[in-house]
A and B are shown apart, each in its own frame.
Chain A
Amino acid sequence: MSGAGGAAGDRLDHYVSTDPFDPHSIEALTPEQERFYLASQWRMMWWRFKRHHLAVVSGAVLALLYLSVLVSEVIAPYDLHSRHSDYIYAPPQPVRLFHEGELAGPFVYGLHYRLDMENLKREYREDRARRYRLRFLCSGDPYRFWGKLEASFHLVCVEDGGTLFLLGTDRLGRDVLSRMVHGARISLTIGLVGIAVSFAVGLVLGGLAGYYGGWVDSLVQRLIEIIRSFPELPLWMALSAALPVTWSPIGVFFGITIILGLIDWTGLARAVRSKLLALREEDFTTAAVLMGARPGRVIARHLLPNFMSHLIASATLSIPAMILGETALSFLGLGLRPPVTSWGVLLTEAQNVNAVALYPWLMFPVVPVVITVLAFNFLGDGLRDAADPYKAD
């Protein structure tokens, strides 16, 4: 910085820029940096969540499943209750593309039925002479959309005279795939309604225990311990046996959901309580109380939002238990009853070893159960990691 010329002792040239100076220019952020540093908490959670690929895929699968519930009637090839009395216990029909080595578009072969008179076994084999082309976006088996609107529009149906049992039929000749698609409506909502119940109970009781402490806390704690030490399934069984037989199937559905939720809240209540116990000592809580906020407002407005994301994550993780619980109860005949159709109700058809040996396709409804339960588990895992985006890993 020594002056360019001039003898020693001369004043150095002092350069002052005449441009206006922006004091923030030094710490200016590039757009990317800005986006990163100023991101909202929810955005950060999303970034963290995106890194858990399995959770993202699971989320997409669940979203698809729940969307399908809106239009079950269109997706299913047949109506829930259509019977095909000529095709009882028909095996799955594969969709084929080639007929005798030639591309013939998607089609199915007809089924040839024969009763084996020796052991009275129903035998089906493909009748290669009859081919039925598959059509898409067509009108087929009539149904009432959401029980109201009459329609007959389907995503896929088969040429007249043919049948399309992609996953076989049951003892009344009803298409297993169609029933699975319809069953999703009940099985998938039961988890959500149940979790809503358990969320509400858990928040209120856990909130009370954590906020007030003292004897309220001990009381709730004891209650939680007792419920947790009770094996879940027998308790569910006992409570659902207590549902009056006279209730309509829909009433039973809500009864079962509430029962599932009423026993499941303990984990959530625990989480809420321990967080509240820590947070109620914080300055902002004292400030809110001093400003005259009522306990309800302090809890709901100032405390809960701090760990809502954690709660959502743990709620996601407890949905699978409910779905499995409903499946088990229905399977035992203590849960939902026909005509309400859930995956558990469908699985009652596969109740004995005969079904496993002779009609293994009756066990297909277990596939969506497994997929849903796994997806909820992975999604919950991802959400739990994302719930605390500030934590370095």
Chain B
Amino acid sequence: MGLALLLVIWLITLVSTYFFAAKTWWLPAGASSAAGFIDGQFTLTLILMGIVFLAAQLALGYFAWRYRDRPSAAPAAYSHGNVKLEIIWTALTTILFVGLNLMGYPVWAANRWEPAKPGSVQVEVTGMQFAWYFRYPGPDGKYGATSPKLMDPSAGGEAAVGLNTSDPASKDDIVTGTMYLPVDREVDLTLRAVDVIHSFFVPSLRFKQDAVPGLMIHMHFTPTQIGEYEIACAELCGLGHYKMHGMVHIVSQDDFDKWMAAREAEKQ
């Protein structure tokens, strides 16, 4: 029985470890400035926890086999523990866990404790059952007023977010169902939700933030790779949660300007 346990525990441990190490399923290629750091911190955590995982599981399996009861076994040791070992173990774990945690703060602080730099691209993201809308303030750099009374989700676009078209600042506001962003420029997001909580998750950009009714949440990030990336809602928002899907197109500044000009032309 001891041998069976050893084999099963070791096999489970090695197979589990293999798929982490082989990266058979892995983080999607990063496309934002934070991705390198986040992936590095993830890998570091994985290696450290992996070592503990292997050590503990392999020891567990080995002990089960090595100390199995059999006629030739030595009598069980009579010991109530070892205070010195406990202290060493406690200190090491504390240093490992807390130290690892502190190492992750530079990026968290840069992304969440400080506001976006002036001159960043302004985009307002609005979540509603079960769609994302993106609003750009246009050349005046100001978002027009919106009103809950004007919201009409079935109409889509400007009407869905309740844009008040009589507000002069709204004249050049662009509302789209697909997000376009210029590469290598910081993006200043404002996240809103009109009905229930949604979560704006773009795995490739290493970006996630809940959009909460009643809150205007500011977040910022910098895309670094041109491409098309999927948005998935990450907070249970109702029966259509699984299809609350969107796209982010990261394009060159030129392409972004052209796209924006075309949208402004359409609107006029």
Q: State whether these chains interact.
A: no
User: What is B's interface to A at a CB cutoff of 8 Å?
Assistant: none
User: What is A's interface to B at a CB cutoff of 8 Å?
Assistant: none
